[in-house]
Structure 1
């Protein structure tokens, strides 16, 4: 008997695309799945479309909540799920036909692995036949491909995210162990979730199979990104890392200290970059930067940034 896979799909005003997502699941070669669509306070026709699918296919269930964000929606879906394995899926993403079958077979034969993750491709909504390995469409594959747990996994995740949210297939136990997605995280919730799994001892294994991929859609709803707000979200996440690492049951004292030192260096580098590239004449940007650090640190970097911009202006005048 095939183990059940719970596919958890948060959706906010994705009525224009959710039908394609659900049809994609129905075309999976692996039949033992349930899809839990959680509507995050949409004002469009999402409910009508999903309920029509649920009427015809009892594997699809529909839940609603007030607009509370993607992490709360994922956790609500997980609370109602029944599967041995968990597949988080953004409402605009697609899965290759054999992805679930290949990953379930892998995890069933490798009980030591907690999270199997695959490669991904990005495609434009208007041109689905043209794909790229990166969001910026520069043909740069940023994906770290590891088979690691403990310190090695944490050390990878301290520098960058390890996978798009729709790529991994997870054992239910690891999601329960970390109490689901962090509901206080902004723009880094999937990265922080993978990090929390790692510091609780999860083993990650990249599954290199061309038939198992996630397809990430690029469209008008996910292209309008405020880089500074995203960087601020990362900085807040890095501030939370300290307590998370210190409480990790799988890292020894020396490993914890090494991770914390690397995190401190990355935090400093990121804040410096944000200050040096900020519009210092914008009160809105300055308020964001001020609230991220202590007043003394802000003042120090503010004057360093002024000096940096002065030197850059002088260089341009000399050219």
Structure 2
């Protein structure tokens, strides 16, 4: 049987963690998947690890390309995918064994469902459970409610244009979901901890938090990528948004070490307001 789910895995300098990620796929109780590992010009032994796992199971596929970043790499992997559904999985994270079966059951029961996500366990330098908020499209303008390992249709991915390569410093998942989803799309959160998100001191997310200018640059870029969408929901020139709204924090950066020692980065809404102000003032 052809794979139903295609796992797209960008690989860069995470070879030491790949076995855990790949084993979590072998542990799935749903067998109809493929994993597309794409070596993004990594300087470590990613290829050696990938080939070892290809020998274990032919559902693992491997590609190499010159380094171009996570957005290009996920798009490249998605282009190789043959499954009806796609799930991104970073090579240092892992999935619980029932995620695929529960997702397929939900998609089958309700064909109107466009995306499925779940609760998350943080592990590594931080160990705790994170309950994702219920999905509400308008809230996606101020916080990313969905982790990076959501499951969605490949046809919707193609229609969205995929990950935007101009999101070079992070929050590319958030930006992608704003392209992928429409206000009337049905999104389902599974009330279970199926995703395991590794926290480590050298992670790319922490790098964003440590460089506020880069973080603001990405928030501004996200706004520019979706100007009509943001202005559909609020007019910063006409409306005075409650200041408390601006205190929302970047959802997927809330758990980082920087935050835990008290270094708070203000919410995207504040940066978005500044971005809109710059544009309207020109």
User: Aligning the two structures, in what range does the TM-score lie when normalised by the shorter sequence?
Assistant: 0.7 to 0.9
- Tell me the secondary structure at the aligned position of residue 25 of structure 2: helix
Q: SS at 1:118's partner residue? A: strand
Counterpart-to-counterpart distance in 2, 1:28 and 1:103: 12
Call closer, same or farther: CA 1:265–1:28 in 2, change over 3 Å: farther
- Hey, what does 1:258 align to over in structure 2? 233
CA–CA separation in structure 1 for the residues paired with 2:165 and 2:183: 18
Please, which runs of 5 or more residues in structure 1 have no aligned partner? 134-140, 147-151, 247-255, 271-276, 278-290, 299-319
Structure ID, larger Rg: 1
1:208-223 map, 5 Å: 208=191, 210=192, 212-222=193-203, 223=206
Cα contact 2:134–2:189 (8 A) shared by 1: yes
State TM-score, norm by structure 2: 0.78
Judging changes above 3 Å, is the alpha-carbon distance between structure 1 residues 200 and 38 closer, same or farther for their aligned structure 2 residues? farther
Tell me whether 75-84 or 180-189 shows the greater mean CA deviation.
180-189
CA distance in 1, matches of 2:121, 2:25: 17
2:133 equivalent among 144, 149, 165: 144
Given that 1:174 and 1:202 are in contact with CA atoms closer than 8 Å, whether structure 2 keeps it comes out as no
Q: Does the CA contact (< 8 Å) of 1:124 and 1:131 recur in 2? A: no
Q: Which 5+ residue runs of structure 2 have no aligned equivalent?
A: 247-262, 264-274
Distance change >3 Å, CA 131–CA 265, structure 1 → 2? same
Of residues 203, 220, 236, the one that matches 2:186 is 203
1:132 equivalenced with 2:107 (yes/no): no
- The structural deviation recorded for 1:232 is 2.1
Classify the secondary structure of the residue corresponding to 1:165.
coil
Q: 1:74 to 1:201 in 2, by over 3 A?
A: farther
Contact preservation (8 Å) 1:39, 1:63: yes
Give the superposed CA RMSD. Answer: 3.2
Contact 1:21–1:93, Cα closer than 8 Å, also in 2 = yes
Distance 1:73 1:200, change over 3 A: farther
Q: Is the 8 A contact 2:3 2:82 kept in 1?
A: no
Q: What does 1:67-82 correspond to in 2, within 5 Å?
A: 67-82=67-82
- Does the 8 Å contact 1:6/1:84 carry over to 2? yes
The equivalent of 1:156 in structure 2 is: 139
Q: Distance in 2 between matches of 1:293 and 1:38?
A: 40
Q: Which residue of 1 aligns with 2:220?
A: 235
